[in-house]
Amino acid sequence: MPIKKYEIFAFLVAALFFVVGLGMWIAFWPIFNSELRANYKLQANADGSLKYAAFLYANPPMKNVMKFNLFNVTNPDEVKYFGAKPELIEVGGYGFLESEQKKYYDFSSDKTQMFYQNYKQYHYSPEDSDGGFSYDDNVLFPNSIGEGAVATIFGPQSEFSETAQLIASIGLVMVGEYPFISKKVKDVLFDGYEDPLLSVAHSTLFRSIVTIMGYGDQLNYIPEMRTFAYLSGYNNSYDENYWINTGYEDFSKLGFVESWAGLKELPASFWPTEEARRIKGPDSGSLSKLHLTKDDELPFFLSFMCRSFKRTYWQENMVDGIKTMAFAVPHDEFDTTLEENAGFRYKNLENVDYFPEWCNEKTSSNSSTDCQKTANGTYLLPPGLFPLVCYPGHNAQPPFTVLVSPPHFLYSPPEVQHKLSGMSPDPQKHKPMVFHQEKTSGTALQVDVRFQVNLPVVNNKKTIMSSQMPNVIIPLFYEDSHAVVKDFVMNTVWLGVIIVPRIIEYLKFVLIFISIVILAVLLVIRARVKGTVTVV
């Protein structure tokens, strides 16, 4: 039976659909991934301006609301004079809008590295603050400067003589230093307040007397700040210089920090072990690999914490209608009792057991075989705490000792939480660092960063100020940062990374199915026609 023209046409259409569908099946994802990598690399145009990906990286298209929650001490006299358990009430959050911009960017001659300084600004936002709270609220909190002075002058490594310590003990009382002070929230966070000890310490007379007494070297321990605030000097400042990998030659290293503050690894004054000093992954976890899986471990460097972390898969979520994979920093990253985290341990030169009921065979909630209480001749901190060893974001020593933890000591055992009144850890509200990332592109659509700053307070019999104080770690505040990308980024991800691949995914099946249907119809028609001709 001769072949009809419509059969030839139908066959060609079927063949075209099949080839196109098969081509989509084979070639789409390699081409798509290649385009993603090309568009995500950090590059500059010939005129020195930034290409799109680099421009977005330098000017993050996110709204970042940072809320600061402070802890108000309600029984300061009982704590100071009788060593009572501190009773705390959380106040806040006080909302701020954070914006950042990477300035003075440059590229290496081989295009593999990008230089920048990351400037940040913070603006108080009443509409983003919790109801009932005002920036003019007063809060009563531990005196960080006073406690820092006590640790320096009366601590085990002090170079002051007993006579000098006696003079200092009386002097602290005479200038009005007290274990707890009350200030306005705005002064505590950013604006700063005058502290009598700082005022005296920066006076010419005091410096001259200290030098004459032979303690001139101790002046280096005095903070440079003339007024004190937790975030003093941070507004419109940058956190050292960065060189990062552009992904130009090796896309798997996109965004990885090549050097920070001119260093390939953190200084030995920060952490004692090589592993702890390593700078791993991208700056703040802002960039990521493509095609995320539940088995991925994603490292990142956080200069404000003076160390690197890793995040692992936690759960699936939805952000503005887009399905995401939530990667969070796990419990183990905050557990310095583990041998692999030995480099992040608090030195505890004061050799104080801040939590005697923890890891105690008689009173602990853990079996004594499940925890490690001491190492290198001193007490370890329980899981969930590590020291802040730098002035956050800078290659400099902090003005006083503080410890970092998740809010409300979420990752710590009950013995830590029960040492204070007012702790109510909630995994949904207090999980420290969570990145909600679109699976295919790795784009972080929402980032929640939460951390708590805590002050170790020591009972020191050598000073009047702390002679009756308990050995306790008191939370000062915690920060809860909620950043979400702007709508145009959401739309770009939705259209380019979700809708287009989905259309192609459906279309390839449709085209192949139609081609098979056309061929099947042709065969049926020919069979029926052939049967009709045979019968006749």
Domain ranges for the chain? 5-37+498-532, 62-143+178-192+229-363+370-485
Give me the pLDDT at residue 169, please: 87
Give percent helix, percent strand, percent coil of the chain, each to the nearest 5.
35, 30, 35
Taking the C-alpha atoms of residue 390 and residue 268, their distance in angstroms, rounded to an integer, is 12
Taking the C-alpha atoms of residue 445 and residue 438, their distance in angstroms, rounded to an integer, is 7
Give me the pLDDT at residue 367, please: 44
Give me the pLDDT at residue 18, please: 87
Taking the C-alpha atoms of residue 86 and residue 454, their distance in angstroms, rounded to an integer, is 13
pTM for the predicted model, two decimal places: 0.89
Extract the tokens encoding 216.
């001139």
Q: In terms of DSSP bridges, do strands 237-245 and 257-260 run parallel, antiparallel, or are they unpaired? A: antiparallel
Give me the pLDDT at residue 400, please: 84
310, containing H or E segment? strand 307-319
Extract the tokens encoding 79.
């704590």
Those residues of the chain that have pLDDT short of 50 are 367-369, 535-536
Give me the pLDDT at residue 100, please: 92
Residues ≥6 apart with Cβ < 8 Å to 246: 41, 42, 43, 54, 107, 111, 112, 113, 114, 254
Residue type, 210: V
Residues ≥6 apart with Cβ < 8 Å to 504: 24, 28
Give me the pLDDT at residue 492, please: 92
Give me the pLDDT at residue 269, please: 93
Give me the pLDDT at residue 449, please: 96
Give me the pLDDT at residue 200, please: 80
Which of 1, 113, 105 has its CA nearest to residue 49?
105
Taking the C-alpha atoms of residue 164 and residue 449, their distance in angstroms, rounded to an integer, is 44
Taking the C-alpha atoms of residue 286 and residue 64, their distance in angstroms, rounded to an integer, is 13
Extract the tokens encoding 34.
């290649």
Give me the pLDDT at residue 534, please: 52
Give me the pLDDT at residue 312, please: 97
